[in-house]
Structure 1
Amino acid sequence: MTINIDAPIHAAGPRVHRTAASTPVEQALALGETVVLWDGDRARLGYAAQSASTAQTAFAIRYSSGFLQLALPSPVCDRLLIPVTPSLPSRPSIEGYRQCIGIDAAQGVTTGISAADRARTARVLADARTVSEDLVRPGHLVVTAVDPGYSGERAVPRLALQLAATGQGGLVFADLVSEQHPAAMADEQEATSFALAQRLPLYAGATSTGVPSDVPRWTRPTVFASTAGSTRPNGGHRTLTPSSRSLQKGRNSHV
């Protein structure tokens, strides 16, 4: 079998036609969709751990640095004996979570590093029936322990706790790399353009100023607000003009 490593990789999950009355981002994640997150000062890809697929994970690896993390409530980490890595007390986390060691599933994986292996590890960690003996330490999917009392505005801990509360385990996430400057991370405008080109929901969150004002209105993808604030999305589905289709086609040719 021949594998074309240069072939385009697309995010898995149903593509839903969205209107101004679309479901909020938590429900999009619950449906198995990959979401673009603008989290404070970082652009990220995120999806629910319970439904993590090989295609989603390959997509996240392709467009990020390849460093995937899984945000779980800290009591789950304690139950599974996943320790937090040492940190300097003078630099407390303001993100609502602390990094733990990497984990692999004990069964059903090979090296642990492939998209298929990390997707399986995410699903195992999201399963309420999993016990510590079902895991290998250290591994290739880095767990982050979310403070269960977190009430801040960061997208990752908020969404992770909401997914856990609805039986979705937690949030797999990775930082989006800039396509214009591959040695840097994507900024908010690039996150918007990426969401448009890949037809993914964009979650701006409470820490964001929203979609950049200099982005033409017809290029704006669906932007969701968290149900923690409002159940109405910040923006709705917009029909692309011929010029915007040309722009989208050009962007897609580079991904």
Structure 2
Amino acid sequence: MGLFGFDLVKEAGGWEAAMTEEEITEMEKKGYDMSSVRCKQAEIAAQEEAAEAAFMEQRKATAVPTDLNKLTSYRSTPRSTESEFFKDVAGKAPLFGKDKWREKFATAPLLYGAVVQANSGLWLPGREDDLPAVFVFALDRTHIYDIEWLTATAEKISEMKESPNVPADCREFIDILRDDQSQFCFPLGPSLSDGAEAWCVTYQFGKQTILPGNRLPEDGIVPFLLEAQPKKQLPIQLAVIPGKYYQA
């Protein structure tokens, strides 16, 4: 089972569900009757479609409106270390290195991340711990708060993940993304970044309850403070901003 869960319907389908169209066709060419397999796959496809529709209805019914404009004042740095915002995002001070800790969170840039993929539990209200998601974000001024660009880039990444044709500058990243067990921090190649200083990373929500309405925003945009500059394939240091600061 990967970080992002698995398809219960297909898992229950066994070997019949796992057969590809090419494999079925090849068996038919050899004279085997594969009608039962095709029937089983059609049944599974119908179940998947119904389950997906029900899930999307639940998402729609539990969506919580957000207003990222409420965060505009928190973009300015250095921010007050005595404010409730600072305390809520930075958390408890460490025993050692308090001055560096204060400076880090006082000057950390606020950025927006767009969901590329996420554990399905994050799209519905819940109280789970350590659920993962993959985000894309930008650090340059032009794109850091450009929600249209973030959303479009997240979609491009998802499409490229499923495509057999991957540009050379994205192959290493896409190979890693296709592994549901992977955890990564990766700069985007030009084919995906459109000139932005962009990164794609895995992030685990320690507490799902930190999100607005205890779930991901329906538009998939989540604000963070960047604690340290990202480095390729080193753990990303992000602090998620509590939902109460941008829930509409």
Which of the five TM-score ranges fits, normalised by the shorter chain? Answer: under 0.3
TM-score where L is the length of structure 1: 0.23
Structure exhibiting the larger radius of gyration computed from Cα positions: 2
